[in-house]
Structure 1
């Protein structure tokens, strides 16, 4: 009895430490207790959970499986172990565990939701829908089920149905910023841009794990007059997003006396050339958990201290963007014309004067929950079988295996270039892309960079997305044509369509070469 009371006190103290985000302190208490009372299921469960939070997945699995052997029905165990298995790529273990648990407790809503989430992560959206809807029959007010039904419907290209479920969930949980953010993306996919960009402000809430924190003490711009004012446009999200939202800077420029732009250090040369009348500065930031913290000590170096600030991705909202026409007709970023000239000459030599298309097929974020966005190289056959054209790899990782596979499967040599950092030298990559006939890639930084300097670009996707479009061309970066299938994950349809577009590129370039 004393041991039980003592264990309860220890687990309560660990919970208090976790609420204060003191993971190391919680770990120290648990490890010390584990040495004194080995294999107590409550201690091993909490050990596994804390190790999961610290991303020590193998060790987390070890302690949680001890718990599973000792006390398989312990509340919270299955829900803790499943994401560990998933992050370790052990989906079969996760599936078997959940099926066994649901046989014992078929009406337990948490298990049902975990199983539905697992099906969702495997892209089995129709099956996931069945499980989420069953969860709603058990508890009609289950917000997680309503929200995830909406996510599944969105993946299945049924956005109107998705919106109704999100709004149902919001009616029961009106303060949820995550639901509000999901609603924003659905509204944007439905081309309800006024409502969508307004709702997209939810991304900045502290409730959103990835929302940035800014160590700055000036007011935020919310469309008030900028006459004789200096405004700071803040960096946020990834490089691809910065490239996209920087297209709005020319629209902001006439409104303010001075504009300071904070950006990824790798974009400074390109932005400085493209926005000559704006002050471009590299960000100073660090990452704490999932949150990025921006520091602004560097503002003292600027010609004038800003009166106001605004996040880059809020510009469409405050500039009242409707996307009835492209944000700009001409490319908003300017490549280095001298570097581009060098690349054009070099590329002409390695392609023997033939059209040259850049290919990018796999992001560095090739994780279990993201790999379905990137079709494997063997699926690119409709593109790689094009005649009278050469292909250049724009991959920055080790692509030697894929290039060998393409040679083996299709008899095609994908070319490589050296002397360029394809991961980080965005200024040089912009000039390289400018020298190509076109670029074909999933939605990645490389694709956005290519489109930003005006290179013909095809963005391939497994399904439609929320990116604003006009006749399937990007409304913000109009050099980009989006191609997605009528049925989710029909990559053959996508590549067949992309082939016809690329064929026109080749014909146009060959025609232009003939004309004196």
Structure 2
């Protein structure tokens, strides 16, 4: 007979529960020991990462930080250092995700808020960046970092007054903080108040004599004011103090443009190659199965030159194409890659060349986003012997101002030029002057380089002139405003798409008596086909190369105000010169 087991009393049950609790505690203890061992291994790797970081070896630092995260997936500090490394190496999307992981693990670390904000800002997630900086200020109200970044990002969001007030308030509390003086100066400079920014940048440098960024920004401000030698001195000082590789690249790039602007062309164009360094912020990866051309002899070679940086620069850098066409000779081949809208104009201008277009892509891989440029027509059986960005050819053919021949290098459609001339003649006997006052790209940082239509009154009211619109994009409201304010009609050519029919726009420019424009693609197209072109700039610009013209083109003048962006002073001067031009008078010297 089976025995009936007695029911367990409370003491027996308690004993079982106690033993289970002991097992749970033991299991937890074993887990804690394992976690401690994992954290110990992780911290050893993290220490190595920090040592590599201090030596400037970002790749090794990131590799050790990655090992630290693999050893302990809950080590927030390891993820933080890994994210910093990824960011400095340009892998911004991956850095943002890694910062977010670190923040999930340790939401009480305020430094993560700063770095999250900076990475979001670099990715143009500007509103998110501002929120991170505001949270940091709430957590660390006595640190200058939050105010420094928030003031600047507010400027990018189009709220410069709020940015200035944020920084002024912080400076009243922390007048000894160099980064706040630098940030306030930068907001002023970005608002076109470069002259006012100088005193603040200089104070930042006085407070922190090894502050590389302050010297870089001083160079930027002096450059905008046309004081190029002082700009170069400060760029050189920045390079003496800069440790961060990205800062060195940025300063080297700005310095190269300043050298070109000062007319030191051979040195400047050689230094300008920094833009093709793979870690440069605006680097474009070209997928071309050919070696880079480094200036070697081109006779009999097939060379591909690829346009870069936007329509205006594609026009300007095309200045060297006649030289390259001669260099490859009859037995060689020049391949020209440009924006698709430029293909008809360039093919007509260089009938012996092969002209095609590029295909731009964005690749998302384990290292983040990469901007890619493919050239399908120069691939497979049509691969070139050599290739180069178009701007890189300049260093070999334009070593001094004497190398610029001041001639048209693009050929407009003769039939369309004749047709436009007939249409313009029907408007009356006055001079026909084309106008373009701004770029289509008018975000906060670029707007300061262009004048609003309201400033053009003195020019528009010049007698003896019929104005023709060359402004591409949506400008109907501005044309209507010019009519309302000044009683002047800016005529539009019916049926011509100024944005996409660049060949037609170039033909129209060739039919005009004069083009007056901001430094835009419209002005570059006009000047490239030999049209008389007046550039109106906010200050002295680097394509002038120390002259009062754009030597790249056949017939240009540049007008710029003595004070940066002082349109009210500049426009009457332009109007005076236009009146002389319209009357066919010759301006004689006073003495």
TM-score bracket relative to the smaller structure: 0.7 to 0.9
2:414 maps to 1:348: no
CA displacement 1:64-109 (0-9 Å, x = unmatched) = 4344334423574233323331221122222222122222222222
Residue 63 of structure 2 is matched in structure 1 by none
2:404 maps to 1:326: yes
CA displacement 1:252-280 (0-9 Å, x = unmatched) = 11211211111111110100000011111
Structure 1 gaps, min length 5: 510-516
What secondary structure is seen at the aligned counterpart in 1 of 2:192? coil
CA displacement 1:273-296 (0-9 Å, x = unmatched) = 000111111012224699642124
Residue 462 of structure 2 is matched in structure 1 by 386
Distance 1:294 1:155 in 2: 31
1:198-213 equivalent positions in 2, closer than 5 A = 198-213=270-285
2:476 maps to 1:400: yes
Residue 16 of structure 1 is matched in structure 2 by 82
Distance 2:106 2:236 in 1: 49
Q: Report the number of matched residues.
A: 502
Distance 2:143 2:430 in 1: 66
State the shift of 1:426 in Å: 0.6
Deviates further, 114-123 or 485-494: 485-494
Distance 1:101 1:195 in 2: 42
Choose the corresponding residue for 2:130, options 45, 55, 61.
Answer: 61
Residue 298 of structure 1 is matched in structure 2 by 377
Distance 1:17 1:169 in 2: 26
Distance 2:202 2:102 in 1: 44
Contact 1:231–1:259 (CA under 8 A) maintained in structure 2: yes
Q: CA RMSD in A?
A: 3.1
**Greater Cα radius of gyration, structure 1 or 2:** 2
- Structure-2 change in CA distance of 1:33 and 1:218 (3 Å): closer
Distance 1:371 1:41 in 2: 34
Choose the corresponding residue for 1:109, options 150, 158, 178.
Answer: 178
Distance 2:122 2:215 in 1: 26
Distance 1:166 1:290 in 2: 30
Residue 333 of structure 2 is matched in structure 1 by 258
State the shift of 1:364 in Å: 1.1
Choose the corresponding residue for 1:151, options 220, 228, 231.
Answer: 220
- Structure-2 change in CA distance of 1:104 and 1:410 (3 Å): same
Contact 2:92–2:123 (CA under 8 A) maintained in structure 1: no
Structure 2 gaps, min length 5: 1-42, 44-71, 586-591
Distance 1:206 1:28 in 2: 23
CA displacement 1:449-507 (0-9 Å, x = unmatched) = 01111111110112111114586232111222111123333324432332243334423
If the length of structure 1 is used for normalisation, what is the TM-score? 0.88
State the shift of 1:137 in Å: 1.8
Deviates further, 218-227 or 21-30: 21-30
1:470-509 equivalent positions in 2, closer than 5 A = 472-508=548-584
Contact 1:223–1:319 (CA under 8 A) maintained in structure 2: no
Distance 1:285 1:30 in 2: 30
- Structure-2 change in CA distance of 1:50 and 1:184 (3 Å): closer
- Structure-2 change in CA distance of 1:33 and 1:314 (3 Å): closer
Residue 314 of structure 1 is matched in structure 2 by 392
Contact 1:437–1:505 (CA under 8 A) maintained in structure 2: no
Contact 1:113–1:135 (CA under 8 A) maintained in structure 2: yes
2:312 maps to 1:237: no
What secondary structure is seen at the aligned counterpart in 2 of 1:294? strand
2:352 maps to 1:277: yes
Choose the corresponding residue for 1:413, options 457, 470, 489.
Answer: 489
What secondary structure is seen at the aligned counterpart in 1 of 2:256? helix
Distance 2:120 2:283 in 1: 24
CA displacement 1:353-411 (0-9 Å, x = unmatched) = 43221111121111221212111112112211111221122222332332232222221
Residue 499 of structure 2 is matched in structure 1 by 423
What secondary structure is seen at the aligned counterpart in 2 of 1:324? helix
Contact 1:326–1:478 (CA under 8 A) maintained in structure 2: no
Contact 2:260–2:545 (CA under 8 A) maintained in structure 1: no
- Structure-2 change in CA distance of 1:395 and 1:104 (3 Å): same
